Amino acid sequence: MDVVRLDGVSKAFGAVRAVDGLSLSIRQGEVLGFLGTNGAGKTTTIKMLLGFFRPDSGRLTVWNGDPCEPATRRMIGYMPETAYYYPYLNVRELLAFYGGLCGMPKPLVRTRSDELVERVGLAGAGSRLLRTYSKGMLQRAGIAQALLHDPSLLILDEPFTGLDPLARIQLRDLILEQKKLGKTVFFSSHELSEAELICDRVAILKQGALVWSGTVHDVAGDGQQNLERIFLKMLGDVARKEAP
Amino acid sequence: MSVRVLQLKALAGLSVLELYRRKDLIVVFVLSAVILLPLALFSPFGLSGASRYVNELALLLVWLFSAVIGLGVSVRLFPPEFESRTIYPMLAKPVARGTVLAGKYLGALAASVSALAVFYLAFGLLVGLRQGVWFPMILLQAFVLHVGFMVVVTALGLTGSLFLTPSANLTVCGLLIVGMLFFGQRLPALAAAQPLPGKCALTVLHWIGPHMEFFDLRQRVVHDWPALGWGVCAAVLAYAAVYAAVCLALARCVFDKKRF
């Protein structure tokens, strides 16, 4: 079953076409890596999936529903790229706030918060205000808030940015754990090696259009190919110039 | 408890918690001390006129500080959410934009009214101690109508916070509120004395501006005039509710169309 479905979705901001006729679907229980250079349209696509704005044309559904409707978003957990949260709250208060927004009763929020604070490795810093957290710790708090209401679809925007190697491994394990639980994960990233390790399928976006989509098995099957080579090939000169 | 109520509680609670954590409450207590100081230090030796003068000064300060606090809280409701991008995880949750707006508004109102209650409590206690009159009915009515004033002030501040930076919003709303408080009643007379463009502008302001003078019972409190009929109070509060509802409806239109 398709959890997310985009059919010919386009979005322009003035003269700039951020997303151009994008068609893509994500099946239940799948981990999909959404790759592309800066400005390729990844974040715009994610914002449309979260119902922040509607596409100019095309059709976009999440669990066959309109993500602009709060009921559809009940099934989505989202972690933004830049993890800035309320600096005057501690992580438990932050989760209590988001739990309230999800309409979760207090005892349930407390139980879930305890589990998640422990799971993301913030138990020792549970009473510290978020303004004292490092970037990696804020990312962990971000993951905890995304998982709080036990969503069936996780949308993660550049989740590996700014994480140290240990935190990367923990996040990778957490994503794979969600997959085992039957959850669907959609994440955007520049981290090709991470995508190769955890994704079932990869979609590469260039100037708002889908230029390649395939399984990690497709990549691994060709002895000469790896995801980095495919990425560079698909993005052509633009990617070569940007590659270090 | 319904989902909507839980959401409103979470959003309102966040604004109140912010007031405490950002040490804004200390400002409230410092301002209360400023209000109380003239009352505590000035000894009118039984001169009722002098007592009234001091009470009037203290109430004027209560009005100015309450406007500062109401605006100070409400103009900051959205700009920090946009700047720090906390608006993204918030709107990604299963909450309607209208609920976000209402929750934020209720939080700002609760925070402002709690500060106002501290001011009136301090004023009432000092007047009681010095003059032996404990919380007369007119003071209660003055507080109730002052809450109506805060209902309008926070609605204006919240609406402006979707268009303007906090400093610009504070300036525009501050000028409107203080201007209407002191000159609102005289607008028709002022309009009549102006040439055509000015006359039109003042007439429009008279009809669409918030008539803050409706909520002002300072003279009645200071001169111990009899309390108003509760029907009049209810009508004034209804005006506040309608005015705030119009502001919030406008804010809702803007917020719904806002692209993040």
pLDDT for B43 beyond 80: no
Question: Which stretches of chain A drop beneath a pLDDT of 70?
Answer: 83, 219-225, 235-244
pLDDT digits (tens, 9 = 90+) for B156-201: 999 999 989 999 999 999 999 999 998 988 898 988 888 888 889 8
- C-alpha–C-alpha distance, residues B51 and B56, integer Å: 9
Q: Within an 8 Å CB–CB cutoff, is residue A244 touching chain B? A: no
- Among the partner-chain residues B17, B21, B92, the one whose CB lies closest to the CB of A73 is B92
Residues B243, B155: contact at Cβ < 8 Å? yes
Using a CB-CB distance cutoff of 8 angstroms, which residues of chain B are in contact with residue A53?
Answer: 259-260
Rounded to the nearest 10 degrees, what angle do helices B137-161 and B230-257 cross at? 10
SS3 content of chain A, % helix, strand, coil (to 5): 40, 25, 30
Calculate mean pLDDT across residues B144-153: 97
Q: What pLDDT score was predicted for residue A224?
A: 54
The stretch B210-226 carries a mean pLDDT of 92
What is the SS3 assignment for B65? helix
Angle at B133 between CA B130 and CA B134, to 5 degrees: 105
What pLDDT, on a 0 to 100 scale, did the predictor assign at position B46? 56
B61 contacts B35 by C-beta, under 8 angstroms: yes
Which CATH superfamily does the domain covering A1-75+151-159+182-244 fall into?
P-loop containing nucleotide triphosphate hydrolases (3.40.50.300)
A 10 A CB-CB count for A215 gives: 13
Nearest to B92 among A76, A86, A129 (CB): A76
Q: Does A88 touch chain B (CB under 8 A)?
A: yes
CA angle B114/B116/B118 to nearest 5° reads 75
Q: Which ranges of A56-105 does DSSP label H, i.e. alpha helix?
A: 70-73, 91-101
How far apart (Å, rounded) are the C-alpha atoms in residues B206 and B187? 6
- Taking only Cα atoms into account, the Rg of chain A, rounded to an integer number of angstroms, comes to 18
Q: Which pTM does this prediction carry?
A: 0.89
B183 vs B196: CA distance, rounded Å: 19
Tell me, what's the pLDDT at B55?
84
Element (H, E) at B239: helix B230-257
Are residues A241 and A212 in contact, defined by beta-carbon separation less than 8 angstroms?
no
Does residue B228 have a pLDDT over 70?
A: yes
Place of tokens 């590996």: A160
Instruction: From A86, A85, A158, select the one nearest B16 (Cα to Cα).
Output: A86
Residues of A in contact with B85 (CB under 8 A): 80, 82, 84
Phi first, then psi: give them for residue A235, nearest 5 degrees: -85, -10
Q: What is the pLDDT, as a whole number, of residue B16?
A: 86
Closest by CA position to A131, among listed A87, A192, A176 = A87
Tell me, yes or no, if A73 comes closer than 8 A to chain B by beta carbon: yes
Nearest chain B residue to A103, by CA: B3
pLDDT in tens, B45-59: 555 567 788 888 889
ipTM of the complex: 0.89
pLDDT in tens, A19-37: 999 999 999 999 999 998 8
Nearest C-alpha neighbor of A72 from the set A153, A163, A172, A160 = A153
Give the model's pLDDT for residue A228. 73
Question: What SS3 class is residue B260?
Answer: coil
How far from the centroid of its chain's Cα atoms is residue A100's Cα? Answer: 22
Please, which pLDDT band fits residue B42 given cuts at 50, 70 and 90? low
Closest CA to A84 of B9, B259, B90, B24: B90
Cα distance from B193 to chain A (closest Cα, Å)?
Answer: 48
Look at residue B104 and tell me whether its pLDDT is greater than 80.
Answer: yes
pLDDT of residue A1: 80
The whole-angstrom separation of Cα B245 and Cα A82 is 35
Q: Where are the domains of chain A?
A: 1-75+151-159+182-244
For tokens 């390649």, what's the residue?
A212
Q: Does B186 touch chain A (CB under 8 A)?
A: no
Distance from CA of A215 to the nearest CA of B (A): 28
SS3 for B33-64 is HHHHHHHHHCCCCCCHHHHHHHHHHHHHHHHH
Averaged pLDDT score across all residues of chain B: 89
Looking at this protein, which amino acid is placed at residue B142?
A: A
Cα end-to-end distance, chain A, whole Å: 39
Q: Is the pLDDT at B226 greater than 60, yes or no?
A: yes
Strand partners, A5: A25, A61
DSSP-derived 3-state class of residue A87: coil
Q: Please check whether residue B89 touches A, CB under 8 A.
A: yes
Bigger pLDDT: B96 vs B25? B96
| Portion of chain B with pLDDT greater than 90, in percent | 56
Q: What pLDDT sits at residue B258?
A: 86
Confidence of residue B224 (pLDDT cuts 50, 70, 90): confident
Q: Is A102 on the interface with B (CB under 8 A)?
A: yes
- Nearest-CB residue to A52 (from B14, B17, B91): B91
Residues of A in contact with B92 (CB under 8 A): 50, 73, 76, 78, 80, 155
CB A226 within 8 A of CB A194: no
Please give, rounded to a whole number of angstroms, the shortest distance from the CA of B251 to a CA of chain A: 17
- Asked if B25 reaches chain A (Cβ–Cβ under 8 Å), the answer is no
CA distance B67 to B80: 21
Query: What is the per-residue pLDDT across A120-157, written as a single tens digit (0 to 9) for each?
Result: 989 999 899 999 998 888 989 999 999 999 999 999 99
